[in-house]
Structure 1
Amino acid sequence: MTGTVAAVAIGRNEGERLIRCLTTLCEQLDRVVYVDSGSTDGSVQAARELGVEVVELDTSIPFTAARARNAGFEALKKSGLPDFVQFVDGDCGVEPGWIAAALAEFGNQEGLGIVTGWRSEIHPEASIYNALTDFEWHRPAGDIAACGGDMMVRSDAFDALGGFNPSVIAAEDDEFCTRMRKAGHRIFRLPLPMTRHDAAMTRFSQWWQRAVRSGHGFAQVGDLHPDYFVTERRRVIVFGAILPAIALVALIACLPVLLIAVLALYALSYFRTVQGLRREGLGLNMALRQSVFLSLSKFPNMIGMIRYRLRKLRGSAMSIIEYK
């Protein structure tokens, strides 16, 4: 398919990761906009030295990835909106040939609003947290319900929807994709490498914060679209709130049978998770290790969901939750 494509990359203190991201974009596109969210590591200067247009967000307004992507899109509109926009996170490098492949797919199929591909980690072996993230990215190709922030979007569809919701601080891509589907557009994942991500997670605290952010996203996006993240919210409530509460009652009331029953449910959930990961192709040792964190994640997820509810109740700003 013929059509014009430009890119919007967003970032905050990404350092060398940003340079890699912008370089891989400039190798495939003539128009690239970088939107910076208050970096203090020289990212803005580095981007300008690469010849990339830079948009610096107003620091007096809470940063969100959604707000940054919208600002990049508006910058493109000022100089002539392209037919398609490739959004990329600043910690991702774009694979050679991806732009051409995604553009071609828009011409191959009717009704596409978004085309995405496979993201993978650069260093999945560096930590169990990177390995978890790498496996998280591996999802089936074909028509999908939602995708991450790395995506090529039809510009007129994006404009008609008003872009991303800037108040959504986590899972803003899921929220946008949900509106895209409800507007009648398809979302398609090509079975091709798209971007190489650098999670750079080496500490438990980073993983915990990322899981808190995910829980916040479950709650906030679920508020906007009650039919989305239903299973995720239910699991978090059961394993992150109800069962711990029952266990606490069992301890206080000296009810060992009840406590054993709760522990048995956690054990059952753990082994079912292991089996699920094995079916998806993960080796036994890694499946056993990753299932520990997937089971444990319900607790920080619950914290994130509660944090969202408290923020909404108080009318507080939905500020970002950073993990690196």
Structure 2
Amino acid sequence: MAKPKLGVVVIGRNEGNRLKACLASLSDITAIVYVDSGSHDGSLEYADAQGIDAIALTTERPFTAARARNAGIKHLMARHSDIEFIQTIDGDCTMAPDWLDIAAAKLLASSDISTVFGRLRERFPDRSIYNRICDEEWNAPIGEAESCGGIAMHRAATLAAAGGFNEALIAGEEPDLCLRLRRVGWSIVRIDADMGDHDANILRFGQWWRRTVRAGFAYAEHIWRHGAASLPSWKRQAARFVSWGIVLPAGTAALMLISAVLGWNPVWSMLPLLAYAGQFVRIWLRERRCFAYPARLAALAVVGKFAEALGALKFVGLAVMRRKAGLIEYK
């Protein structure tokens, strides 16, 4: 396959050396564009100095990853009319050496597939438990998938037909796109190949908390927009964090109030909270043979339901007030 038929869209915001590593891993690609969302670390100037088409998004509309990817896709297709496949990648990732050829071959061989993605690995999984959790998240099952992440290869024609990514979404734009593609018969497939690595650089609890809040926000907005047609896995996850992060605490508070009014022993009203201890033990038992820090992972899994619930409530509040959300950044 001639290289110009394959293009790459890189997006970034203040990625610094991570962006340099990303662009270096794509040095043999001729059709490449970098889209910058308000960096002030010289990222745009660096990309331009490498001879890469570099686009700076303006500030009249909010920055989102979806907006940046759409801008890059549009620019790439305008510059290279024969583009067939487009790889999207974030500036905090690097591409595996053989991935682009492997992914393009899969799309050439399977005309019903719109999007392929592979194994994305966390670059420094041992630096923190949060990085380790990210590494596990990237390891999606091989085969047909509900959705992909932001690092994937797409058919240019299907991206155009679907209208690209939804620029109003501050997170969860990939599942939204994949849902629309699958509705009209296209497949999303995870193949058994290394795709690249990602540098989450989550070293503190506060960063992990904000990232998890953002996830809850994305789940809630996805279900708000698509209702019963939402991705099944996203509906299940939303049901879990609503149960653990909203219903159970609210129910316990209601029981405590009733106990106070009726003069009952308040200890009995707090018994439902033992469910959290049971959940902790269940996750610890499940992970203790395959995860380095099973107790910490179990604790984060329980606490994370509150962060996701907070994100969902944040979305609902903004939706009711008809206000737009700003980016929820964790770096």
Query: 2: CA distance between counterparts of 1:246 and 1:255?
Result: 14
Query: 2: CA distance between counterparts of 1:154 and 1:276?
Result: 39
Q: Based on CA coordinates, which of the two structures has the bigger radius of gyration?
A: 2
Deviations 1:206-252 (A, max 9, x none): 00100110000001111122232111111111110111112323444
Structure 1 pair 179–275 and aligned structure 2 pair: CA distance change class (3 A): farther
Deviations 1:171-204 (A, max 9, x none): 1111111111112111111111102100011111
Q: CA RMSD in A?
A: 1.6
Does 2:299 correspond to 1:292?
yes
Query: 1: CA distance between counterparts of 2:58 and 2:283?
Result: 43
Match for 2:35: what amino acid?
Answer: V
Does 2:36 correspond to 1:36?
yes
Query: 1: CA distance between counterparts of 2:89 and 2:311?
Result: 25
Does 2:270 correspond to 1:265?
no
Match for 1:163: what amino acid?
Answer: G
Counterpart position of 1:301: 308
User: Which TM-score applies when normalising by structure 1?
Assistant: 0.94
**8 Å contact 1:168–1:221 — kept in the other structure?**
no
* Off by >3 Å, runs of 4+ in structure 1: 249-252, 274-278
Match for 2:284: what amino acid?
Answer: V
Counterpart position of 1:233: 238
Unaligned runs of 5+ in 1: none
**8 Å contact 2:31–2:80 — kept in the other structure?**
no
**8 Å contact 1:69–1:164 — kept in the other structure?**
yes
CA apart distance, 1:302: 1.0
User: Which TM-score applies when normalising by structure 2?
Assistant: 0.92
Counterpart position of 2:262: none
Match for 1:77: what amino acid?
Answer: M
Counterpart position of 1:242: 247
CA apart distance, 1:168: 1.0
| SS of alignment partner, residue 117 of structure 1 | strand
Structure 1 pair 275–155 and aligned structure 2 pair: CA distance change class (3 A): farther
Query: 1: CA distance between counterparts of 2:235 and 2:209?
Result: 22
Query: 2: CA distance between counterparts of 1:49 and 1:83?
Result: 27
Query: 2: CA distance between counterparts of 1:12 and 1:235?
Result: 32
Match for 1:91: what amino acid?
Answer: D
Match for 1:86: what amino acid?
Answer: Q
Identity of aligned residues (%): 36
| SS of alignment partner, residue 69 of structure 2 | helix
Query: 1: CA distance between counterparts of 2:136 and 2:256?
Result: 37
Counterpart position of 1:72: 72
Q: 1:89-128 to 2 correspondence within 5 Å? A: 89-128=90-129
**8 Å contact 1:250–1:256 — kept in the other structure?**
no
Does 2:166 correspond to 1:165?
yes
CA apart distance, 1:2: 6.4
Q: Give 1:256's match in structure 2, choosing from 253, 267, 278.
A: 267
Match for 1:190: what amino acid?
Answer: I
Counterpart position of 1:85: 86
Match for 1:66: what amino acid?
Answer: A
Unaligned runs of 5+ in 2: 260-264
Counterpart position of 1:56: 56
**8 Å contact 1:2–1:103 — kept in the other structure?**
no
Counterpart position of 2:145: 144
